[in-house]
Structure 1
Amino acid sequence: MRMRQLQCFVVLAEELSFTRAAQRLNMSQPPLSTQIQTLERDLAAQLILRTSRKVTLTRAGEAFLGHARSILDQYERATQEIAAIQQGQAGMLEIGATGSILRGGLSDLLSRFAVRNPGITLRVTEQPPSVQITEVISHRTDVSFNRSIPRNRDLTHEFAWCEEMVALLPQDHPLATQDAISIADLRDDDHVLLRPDSSDFATYVLSRIIDAGYQPKVSQQVVDAQSIPSLIASGFGVSIVPAGIARLTAGPLAFLPIRPDPPMAQVYMVYRRDEQGSALQAFLAHVRAERHEVSA
């Protein structure tokens, strides 16, 4: 049983005329008769009664008509869905990110993409940087947003955006009322740092502190910058964090610009080198377009 046979039967049932049905189907009457006969043979049932004066449906034909319409409708919806997926207008996109990157602009980016691509479902999972890479390699995540470039030949990356880093201090810190400070101004404070072995980004932040002329006194080490504000508020010292951390962060804290040369937190999209999924390609194109708009 083929879709064409069902289509021929439904049109004939609606017209009750081989002449009119053949015209609607843009075919001649003999092939239409053949399609109906083949369908009846496949079903082992007579669906059409034809006399010299009229065409009518048998009881089997009447019963089968609803099923035939339902099958054709499901087939049409399925082909439309597949076409949408192929064009990147539908599907599921699994995204990995740290909480700090979500705050730093990713959540807004995803919101804008979702408005323009309502057929694509976005599912975001917060993950430490190392776990993000593992999940992309294992095909459990389509794209990861990471501040470090992966060292894996199966993966590729693209620059997504850049975020200035700021000094994070308790609100009662002597420098909290300054308009801006330098990293060297923090030399006497305890520091809450990203664990240096957790990512290249963590190593970069530590190197910027050392370049300022001192080895920091470390009170706490964490994997995700999102964990730092609560530790600073609890009195564990100061830190240097991406500016996006300040978004939605409450408490007795001060976020100060670093001048004259602020550290920068670059964010990369990481995905499999051989990935051809249309939903992902649509998403990458969206991010590139936004990046172009910002730089224009």
Structure 2
Amino acid sequence: MRQLQCFVVLAEELNFTRAAVRLNMSQPPLSLQIQSLEREIGAELFDRSSRKIALTAAGASFERRARTILAQHDRALLEIHEAQSGRQGQLDIGTTGSILRSGLADLLMRFSAEYPGITVRLHEKSPALQVSDLVSGRLDVSFNRSAPAHDDLTHTLAWQEELVVLLPEGHPLGGKATVSIDELRGETHIILRPDSSDFAAYIQSLLTGGRFQLKVSQQIIDAQSIPSLVAAGFGVSIVPAGIARLTAGPLVFRQIAPDPPLSDIHAVYHRHLRTPALEALLLALRSSDGSKGGSRIVRISDRDMDYR
């Protein structure tokens, strides 16, 4: 590459002295570089028969190629630097639909704007499958409502999301500004199957308190199925605020008071497989605005409460 640089500068200056000054070297080493390049190519690149040198026909043709090679070389070095700094690469992210709604989509939009060279690929699958794919290296990071206990995995709190109650339109509790857990214990509920995730077990524990019997009409696995069942009259349900904000239909959402429950959302990743692109995403998480524990809380606003 040094020989090509010497050749291109000399082709521009057509003067050994000026070219040597630009290259920050003396004239004899510059002459040696050009001679070595000519021997390797097998052709004279400069006509030195007069006091002013000139490009030969071979030299003029080779100059275009040399400039292209140097430009590609510079671009390759830039891409390597960007990859090492997390500016280039690919991120395979595991998630669920409810977490995508809770704020992950907004996070990835901001991240992609800051790191346009990183390709983000989303894989929507169950939390258990996400953990398996993290351990095997098929995923770089997973966003999960629970932190899996696995020796090869670690996690950081990404953000917290408020939980609200979803009611069918016309439900008596819908006329209240907020609803308490005690008021909800007498209702028929649609719940996530408790053995499907730690998050599902957490919601059930909120309602039972370890001593109440909960009346359940439906147990499901995918939280995104809940609004349709509530609208159909199967009961009420506690859901993440992200589902409340982006669901339409004859439904009413109410905040839970006096202590709104929160769901932790963790970024889970392999301890020993941290790529520069992943480091860039974790940096973006750490720099996010937050009001609790350094992480933001996704809450539902008053204007999000009614969908009719």
Question: TM-score, with normalisation over the residues of structure 1?
Answer: 0.91
Structure 2 residue aligned with 1:206: 204
- CA change 1:8–1:21 in 2 (3 A) is same
Structure 2 residue aligned with 1:126: 124
List aligned pairs for 1:223-242, cutoff 5 A. 223-242=221-240
Structure 1 residue aligned with 2:288: 290
Secondary structure of the 1:268 match is strand
Contact 2:156/2:267 (8 A) holds in 1: yes
Contact 2:88/2:117 (8 A) holds in 1: yes
Structure 1 residue aligned with 2:57: 59
Aligned AA for 1:192? I
Deviation at 1:240, TM superposition (A): 0.8
1:251 maps onto 2:252 in alignment: no
Structure 1 unaligned runs (5+)? none
Secondary structure of the 1:175 match is helix
Structure 2 residue aligned with 1:29: 27
List aligned pairs for 1:4-15, cutoff 5 A. 4-15=2-13
* CA offset digits 1:174-227 (Å, max 9, x no partner): 222122222332344332211222211111111222217433233322323222
Aligned AA for 2:61? A
Structure 1 residue aligned with 2:75: 77
Structure 2 residue aligned with 1:274: 272
- CA change 1:95–1:71 in 2 (3 A) is same
Aligned AA for 2:72? Q
Contact 2:137/2:273 (8 A) holds in 1: no
1:110 maps onto 2:108 in alignment: yes
1:101 maps onto 2:99 in alignment: yes
Structure 2 residue aligned with 1:265: 263
> More displaced, 210-219 or 194-203?
210-219
> More displaced, 103-112 or 20-29?
103-112
* CA offset digits 1:76-112 (Å, max 9, x no partner): 1111122122222333222221111111122222222
Deviation at 1:292, TM superposition (A): 4.9
Contact 1:95/1:125 (8 A) holds in 2: yes
> More displaced, 247-256 or 136-145?
136-145
Deviation at 1:291, TM superposition (A): 4.8
Contact 2:184/2:207 (8 A) holds in 1: no
Partner Cα distance (2:220, 2:128) in 1: 13
Deviation at 1:239, TM superposition (A): 0.9
> More displaced, 247-256 or 194-203?
194-203
* CA offset digits 1:217-258 (Å, max 9, x no partner): 333223232221122112221111112211111001111112
Partner Cα distance (2:72, 2:222) in 1: 47
Structure 1 residue aligned with 2:298: none
* Aligned with 1:44 (options 39, 42, 45): 42
Contact 1:147/1:267 (8 A) holds in 2: yes
1:219 maps onto 2:239 in alignment: no
Contact 2:185/2:208 (8 A) holds in 1: no
* Aligned with 2:90 (options 89, 92, 99): 92
* CA offset digits 1:119-145 (Å, max 9, x no partner): 333333322211222222222222111
Secondary structure of the 2:70 match is helix
Partner Cα distance (2:130, 2:167) in 1: 29
Contact 1:11/1:21 (8 A) holds in 2: yes
Identity %: 58
Question: TM-score, with normalisation over the residues of structure 2?
Answer: 0.88
Contact 2:140/2:274 (8 A) holds in 1: no
